Amino acid sequence: MDLEAFRSLPEWPMILRDSWETNAGWWQAGFTEGSDVEYEEQIKPIVRVGLGGAHRILDLGGGDGQLARVLAADGASTVVLDSSAAQLQTAHHRGSSVVLATGAALPFRDGSFDGVLICLVLEHVVELDEVLAEVARVLEPGGRFLLMLNHPILQTPGSGFIDDVDLGEQYWRLGPYLREDIQMEEVDAQIFVPFVHRPLSRYLNGASARGLMLVRMEEPPPPPGFVARAEEYLQVQEYPRLLVLHFERRP
Ligand SMILES: C[S@@+](CC[C@H](N)C(=O)[O-])C[C@H]1O[C@@H](n2cnc3c(N)ncnc32)[C@H](O)[C@@H]1O
């Protein structure tokens, strides 16, 4: 569905929030506490390097707090903010400081943090510009913003593996890349998660318009443990599943 049309529905905030309340248990069981190879082999190491040395870090959309805990173990003071109470209940239980709020209206003073992390969140968020403005506001000048996304070039509406029976091939189908769109995707049996697709330029231009300057971009290949999980993943070894953007708040 077209993103602007979705945003005109009065009930859209409830649709998004309810989805994460309902699916928090699914997320925690499949992607946290060492259960997901991409987090263990790739995302956690990138986070430690990308925000290493920061002292006050906001993990926006931090879920159960797994990444904040990695940073806290390295000595940072961290806050896990999320719009899902079910996620935060677990984050609190697992030892994180938590705040229930939306990323579009952060309950912190200007310049409260020298690091902000957003990992695999903005592709579920409708209010991109509001969130980026809030990140810029709560970061002190020179502070770092580490943004990780499912790579938007591959995660388009209708993208996925296609079996070409005539050619005996399997390939990754790309849908319409330039359209801003939201879909409820069935990511597991009866698990529906909202996925917002936008072209990469929307993220980069949205950030730069708010004083968040790109300093480095990474497109890492899937880690070995992921590729080993299924035969078809061998074919996507050279497709970037993850996009890593390192920004700095302009002084
Ligand atoms: C895929 S999970 C990622 C969790 C965590 N960042 C991680 O990498 O383990 C997405 C998280 O974003 C949160 N979220 C979605 N929309 C949000 C919003 N507008 N404000 C704050 N959190 C949001 C969800 O509740 C969920 O916990």
How many domains is the chain built from?
1
Going by alpha carbons, the residue nearest to atom 1 of ligand 1 is 120
pLDDT > 80? residue 231: no
Find the 231 Cα to ligand 1 centroid distance in Å.
Answer: 30
pLDDT > 80? residue 120: yes
What is the distance between the alpha carbons of residues 122 and 166, in angstroms, rounded to a whole number?
A: 38
Q: Considering the chain, what percentage of its residues have pLDDT values greater than 70?
A: 98
Q: Is 185 inside any structural domain?
A: no
Q: Is 178 inside any structural domain?
A: no
Q: Is the Cα torsion angle 120, 126, 127, 129 positive or negative in sign?
A: positive
Find the 235 Cα to ligand 1 centroid distance in Å.
Answer: 29
Provide the 10 A C-beta neighbour count for residue 234.
Answer: 9
Q: Is 218 inside any structural domain?
A: yes
Domain that holds residue 125: 3-153+199-249
What is the average per-residue pLDDT within 228-246? Answer: 82
Provide the 10 A C-beta neighbour count for residue 122.
Answer: 25
The pLDDT of residue 98 is 98
For a substitution probing ligand 1, which of 89, 124, 131, 244 has the most ligand atoms within 8 Å of its CB?
124
Q: Is 171 inside any structural domain?
A: no
Q: Is 123 inside any structural domain?
A: yes
Q: Is 113 inside any structural domain?
A: yes
Q: Is 162 inside any structural domain?
A: no
Look at the block and give the residue holding tokens 């302009």: 250
Which tens digits make up the pLDDT trace of 45-60? 999 999 999 999 999 9
Question: Which atom of ligand 1 sits closest to the CA of residue 102?
Answer: 20
Q: Is 34 inside any structural domain?
A: yes
Helix (H, G, I), strand (E, B) or coil at 41: helix
What is the distance between the alpha carbons of residues 137 and 150, in angstroms, rounded to a whole number?
A: 25
**Which CATH number is 242's domain given?**
3.40.50.150
Task: For residue 80, give the nearest of 47, 48, 118 by alpha carbon.
Answer: 118
